[in-house]
Amino acid sequence: MKKTILLIHTGGTISMHVNEESGAVVPKETNPLIVESKKLRQYADIVELDAFNLPSPHMTPIEMLKLKNLILEAISKQKIDGIVITHGTDTLEETAYFLDLTTNLEIPIVLTGAMRSSNELGADGVYNLVEAMRVAVSEDAKNKGVLVVMNDEIHAAANVTKTSTSNVGTFQSPQYGPLGLITKTMIHFHHAPLQKQYVEVSTIEKKVALFKVYAGMEADLLLSAIDSGYHGVVLEGLGQGNVPPAVVTGIQALLDHQIPVVLVSRCFNGIAQGVYGYEGGGKMLEDMGVIYAPGISGQKARLKLLIGLNQVHSPIEVAHFF
Ligand code: ASP
């Protein structure tokens, strides 16, 4: 029996075209993907929803929350066997991770996008969409958390990141690799995520800032987070998880204001941990109460802390949560 897939559009290059006069890539009034439904119906019956038509830099956690609610509402009304979401690639990994943490479904949720708009030479949108559809109907894709499908690969939401500004093979999972490959005839999974965390959220009210640490950084930016009313701060630290000495006073001030500080590394391989005991070293930061977020990038640690601080059953124990 044919499966039923919920296909949700949110915008992005996959729904855009090149304006021939200006040469700019812009959104279209009618989503060019809607006309592709016929190609997709050979794989499944489709329930199609136009949630937003946004370039993905316009996505915020509020839209991500709406998307989560839309999914839960749709599956409560009818039998859905899988979900495919089209999305701009710039923040696709963030929406994927948000949904990964805030949904707990057996059915596959697959995000896809395109690096080339619908009327560009070598446009990859329809190709990626068909592949996402094939993954969404695959029995093997169940219970694997939220997936990202692009360029013949299947990635886990927690690990995937956009690595190239323009290359169609932009989505990669540094350190971990993809979960599977897609060929003409097969959906071939070779890994499965070991852990699945689920957090119930119904509102996003608290704010979390993300700062990249750099040589010569001072405490002023961290202090401004206190004045601007942030409830949490994530730092992309140096190497194994260190910061310049001047940053330490900023961290201490945040902690004194009960603002949790979460640390990841700005290196995209390896994990941050408390190793060095010098001023600003990771061991010193850990002893101060800084929390490490192993295995995720700065932007994902920021979303995780945001979700944790906004969860229905708060307050959370941040160290335990990470
Ligand atoms: N800037 C675009 C967006 O994220 C890029 C894309 O969709 O690939 O909306």
Query: Read out DSSP for 150-184?
Result: ETTEEEETTT-EE--SS-TT-EE-TTT--SEEE-S
Identify the pLDDT of residue 13. 85
Query: Read out DSSP for 245-288?
Result: HHHHHHHHHHHHTT--EEEEESSSSS-------STT-HHHHHHH
How far is residue 211 CA from its own chain's centroid?
18
Please give the Cα distance from 122 to 23 (Å, whole number): 16
Identify the pLDDT of residue 119. 86
Local structure of 110: helix, strand or coil = strand
The answer to whether 3-189 and 208-321 have equal CATH topology is yes
Ligand 1: atom nearest CA of 58 is 9
Say how many Å lie between the first and final Cα of the chain, rounded.
42
pLDDT of 37 > 80? The answer is no
Distance (Å) from CA 299 to ligand 1 centroid: 17
Identify the pLDDT of residue 169. 94
88 or 319, which is more confident = 88
Instruction: Report the DSSP beta bridge partners of residue 237.
Output: 265
Ligand 1: atom nearest CA of 115 is 8
Residue 171 binned pLDDT confidence (cut-offs 50, 70, 90): very high
Question: Active-site residue 13, yes or no?
Answer: yes
Ligand 1-lining residues (CB < 6 angstroms): 12-13, 55-56, 88-90, 113, 115
Identify the pLDDT of residue 16. 80
Distances from the Cα of 13 to the Cα of 76, 123, 189, angstroms = 30, 10, 27
Residue 226 binned pLDDT confidence (cut-offs 50, 70, 90): very high
pLDDT of 14 > 90? The answer is no
Domain-by-domain residue ranges, the chain?
3-189, 208-321
Give the burial class of 290: count Cβ atoms within 10 A of its Cβ; 0-12 exposed, 13-18 middle, 19 or more buried: buried
Ligand 1: atom nearest CA of 87 is 7
Write down the mean pLDDT value for the chain.
94
Instruction: Report the DSSP beta bridge partners of residue 182.
Output: 187
Identify the pLDDT of residue 26. 83
Identify the pLDDT of residue 31. 75
Residue nearest ligand 1's atom 7 by CA: 88
Tokens of 166: 């323009």
Residues 114 and 128 sit within 8 Å (Cβ to Cβ): yes
Instruction: Output the CA angle 144-146-150, nearest 5 degrees.
Output: 105
pLDDT of 235 > 90? The answer is yes
> What are the backbone dihedrals phi and psi of residue 172, each rounded to the nearest 5 degrees, phi first?
-140, 165
Helix-helix angle 61-77:92-102, to 10 degrees: 50
Residue nearest ligand 1's atom 3 by CA: 88
Please give the Cα distance from 9 to 201 (Å, whole number): 22
Identify the pLDDT of residue 257. 98
pLDDT, tens digit (0-9, with 9 covering 90-100), for 247-273: 999 999 999 999 999 999 999 999 999
- pTM for the full predicted model: 0.95
The sign of the torsion formed by the CA atoms of 273, 276, 282, 286 equals positive
Which CATH number is 3-189's, of 3.40.50.300, 2.40.30.10, 3.40.50.1170, 3.40.1350.10?
A: 3.40.50.1170
DSSP 8-state secondary structure symbol assigned to residue 314: P
- What topology does CATH give the domain 208-321? Rossmann fold (3.40.50)
pLDDT of 8 > 90? The answer is yes
Please give the Cα distance from 49 to 252 (Å, whole number): 47
Identify the pLDDT of residue 291. 97
pLDDT, tens digit (0-9, with 9 covering 90-100), for 196-210: 899 999 999 999 999
Q: Is 89 annotated as a binding residue?
A: yes
Distance (Å) from CA 24 to ligand 1 centroid: 13
Q: What percent of the chain has pLDDT over 90?
A: 86
Identify the pLDDT of residue 255. 98
Identify the pLDDT of residue 32. 75
Distances from the Cα of 141 to the Cα of 38, 86, 197, 216, angstroms = 23, 17, 17, 46
Section 212-221 average pLDDT:
98
Identify the pLDDT of residue 15. 82
Identify the pLDDT of residue 283. 97
Q: Is 50 annotated as a binding residue?
A: no
Identify the pLDDT of residue 22. 85
Write down the residue that tokens 């949490």 correspond to: 232
Distances from the Cα of 132 to the Cα of 46, 86, 211, 298, angstroms = 13, 9, 33, 26
DSSP 8-state secondary structure symbol assigned to residue 49: E
pLDDT of 314 > 80? The answer is no
Lowest mean pLDDT among 31-40, 47-56, 125-134, 160-169: 31-40
Nearest to 254 by CA among 234, 282, 274: 234
pLDDT, tens digit (0-9, with 9 covering 90-100), for 59-88: 999 999 999 999 999 999 999 999 999 999
Question: Active-site residue 203, yes or no?
Answer: no
Q: What share of the chain is helix, strand, coil (3-state, %, to 5)?
A: 30, 20, 50
Q: What percent of the chain has pLDDT over 70?
A: 100
